[in-house]
Structures are given as structure tokens and as C-alpha cells.
Amino acid sequence: MTRPFACVVNLGCRVNRVESDRITSDLVGAGFSLVDQDEADIIVINTCAVTGEAESKTRKAVRHALGLPREPIVVVTGCVVNLHPNELTDLSPRVIAQPSKIDVARTAADAAGLPARTVNLDEGHDLADLLGRSRLGVKVQDGCNNRCSYCIVWKARGPERSVPVASVLEQVRRAERAGIPEVVLTGVNLGAYDGIDASDSHVEIDELLDIILEQTDIPQVRLSSLEPMDVHDRLIDAMVAGGERVAPFLHLPLQSGCTATLERMNRPYTDEQYEAMVDRIRTKLPNAAISCDIIAGFPGETDEEFAESRALCERVGFSRMHVFRYSARPGTPAATAPGQVAPEVMAARSSELRHVAENTSQADARARIGSCETAVLEFGNRGTLGSFHRVIVDDAGTDRTGQLVRVKITGMDDRGLLHASMGESDL
């Protein structure tokens, strides 16, 4: 029987990306060949509902898939499906909603008429070749118990729940067997990890990091996004103890650098607490790169509040900033809050923040010249440092793709891209 063609379209957050990788692997295990959208018989769309704009992009992606010449079946999953699947299934009889991501491959196989088979993720394909990257996300947690006033993820994802330690270790070892040098621990609210180990004891995120480093040989572990209130001294100490096997990078969503705005967002920290946390991190991990998410034009944000937020970003000196204009999400308190900011004001503020982001990112990169870091090589001699800056390793050659190497940062070109040379010894 000819293998049917499938394609996975990912929309949204880092967790969605990890889930889409798993779906991709499952589809191959179920008997599909992976192709571009134009050639696919089955298109899987992992949807996003974080903002009204994100939902609009989801509907656009489904309509685009439905309009392709091969008239594919479209299997939709993810947050929009969990909130209101009829918005998508009503678009066409060829749209199938599957709220359970672990059942997507089976749903696709049934739709394609594939015979029942056991999906074995370790047979028939190599993860590194299949996903085309040298880094694998490991989902260890899902759901969120926070109630940020602009966010509906807690409804779409449900309450917090954690993957058992044994299952996390198996995912890491799977990456290890495939020769992938770096895993990224990922979750909707990663810092809320509370998994169960073999003795039925509860394990927090710092303990999970320790266990992974002790019980696997994965060369490097990276932590994905962590809420600021979940970054405690035990976690920082665990990162320090991990040495070069832990990427010196933390993504800590700020959302606003003004306490008054944070209160309206229902974020459980102040600007002073955030800044103090960053100081603690840099005291113990001086080479740590810190990135953030920040929203421009949240309802009620005055010129003075925005100035406070911008000033905090400049003081912290983020290695990168993901700047978002506020986008009202229907069903959230912020969407109907007073003081909605005019679009042109949001645009001007986001432009200012992007200018700050460019300056602080280049300053953080420039400060690394002369130091040594690890780098995962992803495209010949191009790769990503532990600090998550992009780098060109000038003397790496072309046969190092997929390797973790020690490099010395030698300079930065006029594009802001760091250059490095091979260190004294590889890892």
C-alpha cells in the first residue's frame, strides 16, 4: 500500500511546537510520509487561541488548507478545538476536530484508511533527521492555574498537571539515543512542575533538573519559559550545579515593567520583585542570558506607566525581548476593561520597545566577546550558543551539524551576529 502524505502546521507557543513534533513523529510511525501542504492528503493543524488575532490566524490556516488542490482532510487539534471546535468544523465536512493530541495520528490514519498498527516512536525513523533540528523539546507539564486578565489559556489547557519523572526520563533518553545534543524542558507553566517519581514522591522543577543530569547523559539541558514567581533560589542553585550541561539562559515573561499595570494584568509580582529576581540570578549565574515577553498598550496603560516599563527593560538589559501589541482576547476580563489603548499608540509603544530590544540584545552579545560557551551546531558552522545567541563558528567546517561544541566568542559582525572559533576541547 502506498504511504499517504501528511503535513503538520504548527501555530502558537513553544509548547505547541513540542506537541507538533510529537504529532509529526506519531504520523510517521502510523504510516504517513511527510510532505509540504500542497502535496498532503492529510493536514494536521495545531491551533492557538492565546489572542483574538491568533484565533483569526487559525481560521485562516484551516481555510487555506481546505482550498488546496488535493482537497485534503484537515485534522484540527489544540486550544481552539478545546474552546469551541464548531468554529472550525463548520467550515467544511473535511475538517475533523480531535481535542486529544495523543490521538491525532490515529484519527488521521483512520481518515486516510490506514490499517490499524501500533505506533512505535523508536522504529522506522530517526528523530534528528525527521524533525530536522539538533534540539528536542520535552514536554513535562501542561495546564495553568493562573488567571492573568488578558489570557484564556487556563480555560483552553485546563488545570496544571505534570508528566511523571519516569516518562520525562524516557523522552530525554529517546533524544539521547537519536544523537540529539540538547533537550528543552517545556510546559505551559514549567515552574509549576510537580511530577511523581518512582517512590510516589512529588518532584519540583529544580529536582527534576537534578534527576535528568544524574540519570541521563544528555549533553545539554535548556529550560523553557518560567513564570517569574517560580524562579526560586533552589532552581538557580540547580542550574549552577549543572555546570556546562545546563544552558545559561532563562526566559522570564515580564509582560509589563510597571507594578500598576501588572496588578491590572493579575500578575502576582511587582516590578521591584522582578528586578530583584534578575539580580539574584546574575549574582549566581553571571553569564546567564535573560529574555522576556512584554505587552505594549495593555488597557489602562498611561504614558507614565509605559515609560516605567521601558525603563525597567533598559535597566535589566534583556538578551532578547518578544514584544507584543496588546490583542484583546474575547472572554477575558481585559477585553472589556476600561482604558483601551488606541491602535496607533500601541504601535508607537511597541516600536519603542523593539528599539530597546535591539540595543539590549546587541549589548548582551557584545559583552560575551572573549568568553567561552557551548554551541549546538545546526546548519554546518551555524548554531546556537547556550545563551541562545546565534553564532557562526568560523573554523568548525561543514561536518559538525548536530554536535555540541565548546567555542570561544571572537567578535560580532555588522549584523549583530556573533562569531566564534573552536575551543580547546569539544564536549
For residue 198, which amino acid is it? Answer: A
Query: Three-class SS of residue 139?
Result: strand
From residue 426, how far is each of 95, 219, 393, 407 by CA, in Å? 49, 11, 13, 8
> Cell numbers at residue 161, please?
498537571
pLDDT at residue number 426: 47
pLDDT at residue number 334: 96
- CA atoms of 202 and 218, how far apart (whole Å): 23
pLDDT at residue number 1: 52
Q: Which long-range contacts (CB under 8 A, 24 or more apart) does 422-425 make?
A: 422/393, 422/395, 422/396, 423/372
pLDDT at residue number 123: 42
Domain boundaries, the chain: 5-112, 133-366, 372-422
Q: Which long-range contacts (CB under 8 A, 24 or more apart) does 302-305 make?
A: 305/256, 305/258, 305/260, 305/261
Using only C-alpha atoms, the chain has a radius of gyration, in whole angstroms, of 22
Q: What is the CATH number of domain 5-112?
A: 3.40.50.12160
- CA atoms of 426 and 138, how far apart (whole Å): 25
Contact 6, 70 (CB under 8 A): no
Written as tens digits, the pLDDT of the chain (427 aa) is 578 999 999 998 888 888 998 899 889 888 898 999 999 999 999 999 888 788 889 999 999 999 999 999 999 999 999 998 999 999 999 999 999 998 999 999 999 988 765 444 444 345 555 565 678 899 999 999 999 999 999 999 999 999 999 999 999 998 998 889 999 999 999 999 999 998 999 999 999 999 999 999 999 999 999 999 999 999 999 999 999 999 999 999 999 999 999 999 999 999 999 999 999 999 999 999 999 999 999 999 999 999 999 999 999 999 999 999 999 888 899 999 999 999 999 999 999 999 999 999 999 999 999 999 999 998 888 899 999 999 999 987 767 788 899 999 999 998 889 999 986 544 4
Which alpha helices (DSSP H) does 43-126 contain, by range? 52-66, 79-83, 86-89, 104-112
From residue 388, how far is each of 62, 84, 240, 320, 369 by CA, in Å? 33, 36, 17, 9, 14
**Element (H or E) spanning 367, and its range?**
none
pLDDT at residue number 424: 57
pLDDT at residue number 6: 94
User: Which of these CATH numbers, 3.40.640.10, 3.40.50.300, 3.80.30.20, 3.40.50.2300, describes 133-366?
Assistant: 3.80.30.20
Contact 75, 45 (CB under 8 A): yes
pLDDT at residue number 74: 96
